Amino acid sequence: MKQFILVFLFLIVVSTGIIAQVADSVKNVPELAPSSTSEQQLENITENNEDAETEDDSYLQELVQFQRNPVNLNTADEALLKELMILSPLQIQNLVIYRNLMGNLIDIYELQAIPGWNIRMIQRLLPYVSIGRNGQAGKDLSSRFSNGQHSILFRYSQTLERSEGFLIDHSSTKSFYYGSPQKLMLRYKYVYKNLLQYGIVAEKDAGEEFFKGSQKSGFDFYSAHLFIRNLGIIKSLALGDFTVNLGQGLTQWQSLAFKKGPDIVSIKRQSAVLRPYNSAAEINFHRGAGITIGKRNWQLTVFGSYRKTDANFVTDTLQTTDDYISSLQTSGYHRTKSEIEDKGSQRQLAYGGNASIQSGRLHIGVNAIQFQFKVPLVKEPLPYNSYALSGKHFGNYSVDYSYTFKNLHFFGEAAMSSQNGTAFINGLLVSVSNNVDMSLLYRNISRKYQSLYTNAFTESTLPSNEKGLFTGITIRPAMQWQIDAYMDIYKFPWLRYRVDAPTNGTDYFAQVTYKPNKQLEIYSRYKRESKAINYNPEDLILNPVILQPRKNWRTQLGYKISPTFTIRNRVEMVWFDKKGGADESGFLMYVDLFYKPMMKRISANFRLQYFETQGYNSRLYAYESDVLYYFSIPVFYDKGYRYYINCNYDFSKKLSVWVKFGQFLYANKAVVGSGLDEIKGNRKSEIRAELQYKF
C-alpha cells in the first residue's frame, strides 16, 4: 500500500508542475463534474443510510431544468430561490432587499455587490440563473400545455455475472429471484419552463418479473404526476404522485435534504411544501392530490394521499390476536417469494396541511399530518422498540418559524406526536463579515417522538431519541482560499438498534480548499467521529457498549488541463477504532480523466481506482459520474481495483445516448457479495445504457 501512496503523491507533484506551465487563459468553460461540495453531501447521505443508494433523482432533474430555464433573479420570489438549494436564507433575503432598494439587476457582475454574496457561491449559481426583464410568460394555462418540451428516457442496467439468486435450483428452495437480471426504467415527461410538468415513470428492478408471474402488467412500479405552479391564487397544484416538505423536517420531509458537510450554511431545510415526484424510488412519496393557495403574505396547503405500501404482514395462525404488520419495507424490491408477498400488503391513508404567514422578515407556519393504516403496526418486543411507532393511527403537529435581523437568521420548529412525544430544532445563521459565516443548531428530540417520512438535521436517520449541538464556521481569508469546520456533540438518551445503553457521540470536521482559478481546485479534509455500539466478541450475557472512533483524511485535486481535458485525483485513508479491539484501517485512491471537447457531440470520462481496507468497518465511499439523471456511490472494502468508462454521444439536439461500463476486481476473493447476491469469482461487472429523445 505504501507504494501506491508514493505513486499518488508523485502524481500530485507532477500535476502541480504542469499547472505552473499552463497559461491561465481558459475562461467560461462549464464544469464537467458536480461541485466537490455536492459530491461530499451525496456521499454523506449514502453513508448515513447504511449503503442504500437513493433512486430519487429529482434533485438532478431540477438542476438540469434550471439550466435549460434559468431563474430570473429580477422576478424570482423567495420560494423559487430556495428550490436552487445553493443560496442561504441570508443570501436570499439580501437579494430581495437589494432589489427593493436598487431596482432590477442590470448585469450579472452586479451580483458581487449584494451583501453576503461571494465569488465562489456566484460561480456555483451562474449556470442556473439569468438577469432578465420583468414579465411572466405562460400565464395562460393552454399555452403551458402546448409550448413545452416532451422527452422520453429509457435506461437499462445489468450486472453481467449471474448471482446465486438467478442460478439456484428452484426445486430445492423457495428463496430465489423469479425474474430476469435486467433493471429497466422508462420515463415520459413534459415540461413547460418551471410552471407546469406532467409525466409517467415505469421501473423494474433486477430479479423482478416482467409481463409474467406476479408482474403481468409489465413493470413492477408505475408512477404518474401533474404539477402546476403560479396559476393565479394557486401557487402549486399536485395530482398523482408528489412529495410534502414541512417545517424543518420533524413533521414531514420527503425531498432530498443534506445534513452535515462542508457547506455549513445548508443546515436549514428550505423547500416548497408541495413538489412533483417523478423518480423511480418506490417508497418516499404521496399519491393523491395537494394544493397550495396564497395571496399577499399568507399561504395555505392541504393534501390527501392513499396508497399501498410494502410491509411484513404477520398472520396469527392460532387466532389469539389479530393479524398485524411487524415493519414497513423500504427497499422496493419484489424479487423473491417473500418480497412479492410483502408488496402492497399495507394500506396507507395520509392527509394534512400547512398554513403560513410572512410578515416582513418574520415567517410562521403551522403544520399537521395524520396517517391511518389498514393493518396495525406492531414492532418486535425489544427494549429499543419501546417507543416505536405502533397501532393504526398516528400523527405529527408542529409550528415552524424564521426571522432575519440584520446579519442574523433565526429558524426552528417545535413538534409534537400523537404519542405525546416532543421535538425541538432551533438554529442560527450568522454572516459575521463578508468572508466569515457561522451556523449553530440545537436539537432536543424525545424518545417518545416518532414520525414517518421525515428528514431533519439529526445524527440519526430519523428524528427521535436525540439531543445535540452543532456549530460550524466558514472562513475565506483570501479569494482563493476557504476553510470550513464544524463540531457536533450529541447524545442518545435511550437505547437504539445494536446499542443497548444510552450513549454519547462527537463529530469533528475541518476542510481547507484552494481554488485560485476556474482550472484548479484542491481540498484536504480531516474528519473524526466517535459513536458507541454493542461490542461483544466474547459472547457475554450482556452486550458491552463501547465508543469506536473513526478518523478519516482525504485530499482531492481537480485540474482542467485544457478546454477539452480535466483530471481529478483523490487519496483517502481511514482509521477505525485504532486503539481498540476492532482496529481496522483502509485506503482508497483514484484518478479521473474527463473528455469534453467544446461544440462536439461526444464526451466521456474514465476512472481507475485502487482500494484496500481491513474490513467493513473501515469501508469508504466515492461518488461516480454516471448516465444522465443518475449517480452511483459504491461502498469499497476488502482489497481490489475499480474502473469504469462513461460515454455520451448526441446524435442531434433531440436524441442522445449514454453508456457506462464498470468493474470491480478483487484480490484473493473466491466470491463477491453474500446471500442471493453472491457471485462466484473475484469480479463484478455492470453495464448501464440510457437513451433520451426530446421533441
Q: Quick: pLDDT tens for 241-267.
A: 999 999 999 999 999 888 999 999 889
Mean per-residue pLDDT, 632-647: 96
Interatomic CA distance for residues 81 and 72, integer angstroms: 10
The pLDDT assigned to 318 comes to 56
Interatomic CA distance for residues 345 and 378, integer angstroms: 14
pLDDT tier, 12 (very low <50, low <70, confident <90, very high otherwise): very low
pLDDT reading at 25 higher than 80: no
Residue type, 53: E
pLDDT tier, 43 (very low <50, low <70, confident <90, very high otherwise): confident
Interatomic CA distance for residues 456 and 417, integer angstroms: 15
Interatomic CA distance for residues 386 and 493, integer angstroms: 13
**Which of the residue ranges 192-201, 315-324, 384-393, 397-406 would you say has the lowest mean pLDDT?**
315-324
Per-residue pLDDT tens digits for 642-659? 999 999 999 999 999 999
Interatomic CA distance for residues 507 and 468, integer angstroms: 11
- What residues contact 305, with CB distance under 8 A and at least 6 apart? 286, 287, 288, 348, 349, 350, 351
What are the backbone angles phi and psi of residue 108, rounded to the nearest 5°? Answer: -65, -25
The pLDDT assigned to 36 comes to 79
Bridge partners (DSSP) of residue 391 are 377
The pLDDT assigned to 532 comes to 93
**8 Å CB contact between 251 and 397:** yes
What are the backbone angles phi and psi of residue 325, rounded to the nearest 5°? Answer: -105, 125
Total tally of structural domains belonging to the chain: 1
pLDDT tier, 448 (very low <50, low <70, confident <90, very high otherwise): very high
Mean per-residue pLDDT, 323-330: 90
pLDDT tier, 55 (very low <50, low <70, confident <90, very high otherwise): confident
- What residues contact 148, with CB distance under 8 A and at least 6 apart? 190, 191, 192, 193, 196, 197
The pLDDT assigned to 382 comes to 92
pLDDT reading at 31 higher than 70: no
**8 Å CB contact between 503 and 530:** no
**8 Å CB contact between 247 and 415:** yes
**8 Å CB contact between 573 and 550:** no
Cα-Cα-Cα-Cα dihedral of 24, 30, 35, 36, to 10°?
A: -40
Interatomic CA distance for residues 323 and 327, integer angstroms: 13
Interatomic CA distance for residues 31 and 603, integer angstroms: 13
pLDDT reading at 7 higher than 70: no
pLDDT reading at 174 higher than 50: yes
What percent of the chain is predicted at pLDDT more than 90?
73
The pLDDT assigned to 13 comes to 37
Give the mean pLDDT of the chain: 90
pLDDT tier, 83 (very low <50, low <70, confident <90, very high otherwise): confident
Residue type, 501: A
Stretch (H or E) spanning 671: strand 671-672
Mean per-residue pLDDT, 414-430: 96
pLDDT tier, 610 (very low <50, low <70, confident <90, very high otherwise): very high
Could you tell me the residue range of the domain that residue 680 belongs to? 2-694
Mean per-residue pLDDT, 486-492: 98
Per-residue pLDDT tens digits for 653-678? 999 999 999 999 999 899 999 999 99
The pLDDT assigned to 35 comes to 73
pLDDT reading at 471 higher than 90: yes
What are the backbone angles phi and psi of residue 362, rounded to the nearest 5°? Answer: -105, 130
Cell of 395: 400523527
The pLDDT assigned to 562 comes to 94
The alpha-helical segments, DSSP class H, found in 211-318 are none
Half-sphere CA count of 461, side-chain side, radius 13 A: 12
CA angle, residues 36, 37, 43, in degrees to nearest 5? 90
Cell of 132: 432578465
Residue type, 166: F
Interatomic CA distance for residues 427 and 470, integer angstroms: 9
Interatomic CA distance for residues 403 and 89, integer angstroms: 10
